[in-house]
Structures are given as C-alpha cells and as structure tokens.
Amino acid sequence: MKIKWNWGTGIVIAMLLFVIFILQFVYRVTFVDKYDHYLVSEDYYKDELFYQKEIDKLNNASKLSENITVRNFENGIVIHFPEDKDYKKIKGTINFQRPSNNKIDFKKNIDLNEHNLYIPDSILASGKWNVRIDWQYNDVNYLLKESLFY
C-alpha cells in the first residue's frame, strides 16, 4: 500500500505531531515530580497578610524625608540612619543575605550610638549582598531592601 503525499496528508501529520508535542508537556506537568507545580507556600493566605505588612513598611519608608543609606567604605559598610530621627529610639534588625552562599548570611540587631552603623570588613565577603533593614521608630515600622556589591 502506497500513501499519497499531498497537502492534506501533510496537515494531518503536522496536527498529530503538534498534539503529541502538547501531550508530552501535559504528562510532564502531571506525573513527573521534577516539574512540581504546587504553590510555594501552604499557608499563602497567612503569607499574604505578612506581605501586606511588608508593603506598608516600604510605603512608610518611602514617605520619609531622608531614608537610610547603605554605602561601601574601605574597611566595611556604613549604614546611615535619618538625621531627623533620634538614634536612641531606633530599633530593629539588619539581615545580610548572600545569594550565592547562605552559610555566610548573618543578622545584626540595631543598637546605635550615633546615626551611623558600621559593619566591619571581617564579616563581609566580596560579592553581592541582599540587605534587609527592618526598623522601628516611635512605633512606626519601616523597611529598606537593597542589593549591594561589596
């Protein structure tokens, strides 16, 4: 038996190949554990409330006349807090996260003796750092997220 190759046969074969192509994706997503498609968080409703609080903190920080600045210096990093705030009333935490190596991540409590906080070179490795400064002043919460290269 000889199959005649005309444009109709080509279209049918192309459609069959396309359906097989789509079905292999459906199979992978459904049955292969490597392509897990579940939500990242089981408690996403609770996490949504957390994210809303984080957004509120970011909005509070954006309304400041002077926000926190993070700068590299020769022997470390200096975090400068707003001059119009009493540094004795500023409390919170600073998280340094290294995307390439979570073993050197660290957290530091904010305890100021002046408007500047110094992070020494001895605890910082060269490369990219994600800095998260979560701080409070007069019961108002603020947040600064920044990436820097040291």
* 70, pLDDT greater than 60: yes
pLDDT of residue 2: 77
Region 86-114: mean pLDDT is 88
Residues in Cβ contact with 90 at an 8 Å cutoff, skipping those fewer than 6 apart: 81, 110, 112, 135, 136, 137
* 109, pLDDT greater than 80: yes
* 1, pLDDT greater than 80: no
* pLDDT band, very low/low/confident/very high, at 92 (cuts 50, 70, 90): very high
- Per DSSP, what are the bridge partners of residue 62? none
* pLDDT band, very low/low/confident/very high, at 29 (cuts 50, 70, 90): confident
Region 88-113: mean pLDDT is 88
Query: Does residue 42 or residue 75 have the better pLDDT?
Result: 75
pLDDT of residue 102: 79
* 37, pLDDT greater than 80: no
Encode 57-111 in three state secondary structure.
HHHHHHCCCCCCEEEEECCEEEEECCCCCCHHHCEEEEEEECCCCHHHCEEEECC
Between 48-52, 76-80, 96-100, the lowest mean confidence (pLDDT) is in 48-52
pLDDT of residue 85: 87
Torsion of CA 108, 111, 117, 119, to 10 degrees: -30
Between 29-33, 57-61, 94-98, the lowest mean confidence (pLDDT) is in 29-33
- CB burial class (10 A; 0-12, 13-18, 19+) of residue 9? exposed
- Per DSSP, what are the bridge partners of residue 107? 95
Secondary structure tally for the chain: helices H, strands E: 2, 7
